[in-house]
Amino acid sequence: MESPPHRPAWKTLLAFGIIYFVWGSTFLFIRIGVRELPPLLFAALRFLPAGLVLYGWMIAQGERAPTLRQWTSATLLALLIFVGDYGLLFWAEQHVPSGVAAVMLATIPLFMALSEIVLLRTQKLTIRLTLALLIGLGGVAVLVSHSLVLGGAPIDSRGAIALILASMSWSVASVLSRKLPLPSSKVMSAGAQMLAGGILLTITAAAFGEFRGFHPSAISGHAWFALVYLIVFGSLIGFTAYVWLLHHESPTKVGTYAYVNPVVAVLLGYFFGGEPLGMRTVLGTAFVLVSVLVITLTPARKSLPKLVVEDA
């Protein structure tokens, strides 16, 4: 039997570094961008070019285009992921620090677990899962509560609600992705969803009047750099590294980015974004991450595929 080809360790380390630190940094760059660009339009400008490149690259590689049924499924998921999740995230970061936004979105596994318990019935509500869910919800309560005296102001209520709805939207999309017909290629499926999401975000931004009064010449270089960074590094390079790791490492190892990204986002927001880092943020982050760790290490009754579009 032939031994598997040797893979340089630096490639694996580089790929993990990308999904850990590049994806963790995207929250800060989103906050930089939404200070000057309308949030939904900013999201559209990120995902539409990235979706076009990813989808076009797969077609150029000879991959079969999605069928009409698959496009319908991809569009439904794009509505939940890119408008419901990312659209709300970009909007919320006008009001919520980028690090806290990352922590709030780290609650996605909580809502996915609830979906699997209630809808898919691939999980049972055990004592372990119950405690994990309570700890995670406790972390959210620490971040938003006005009654707890922990130093630092609680996060904006509107932003908190938007981020919770964003997490719920992603979890619903995750459940549906296991039921809907999608392309067998993960990259093609992600490209189709991203392209559809970019189009839907553009339409939504127009519907909310975000094109009125928008003058590209008035946008600073910092905001344009943030956009380019999110397209090239956050979406294209980050996703490429993620898919490469899925083919070379165990899903459990690759999934560790879910614990690292919020920590990276909180630290970058503190050191480079001038965001507060008090006991409230530290405690809330710790609760959420412990909850995520327990939930993701709890085996389901049967293995189910996961969504592939998972960067911030």
Residue 164 pLDDT exceeds 90: yes
Name the percent of the chain lying above pLDDT 70: 92
Q: What is the pLDDT of residue 122?
A: 72
Q: What is the pLDDT of residue 172?
A: 87
Q: What is the pLDDT of residue 188?
A: 94
Q: Summarize the confidence of residues 241-251 as an average pLDDT.
A: 85
Q: How far apart are CA 49 and CA 53, in angstroms?
A: 6
Cα–Cα distances (Å) from 5 to 193, 243, 249, in that order, read: 33, 18, 14
Q: Summarize the confidence of residues 123-132 as an average pLDDT.
A: 86
Q: What is the pLDDT of residue 110?
A: 86
Domain positions in the chain are: 9-296
Contact by Cβ (8 Å): 295, 132: yes
Residue 1 pLDDT exceeds 60: no
- Greater model confidence, 150 or 95: 95
Contact by Cβ (8 Å): 96, 273: no
**What average pLDDT is seen over the chain?**
89
Residue 309 pLDDT exceeds 50: no
Task: Specify the DSSP class assigned to residue 7.
Answer: -
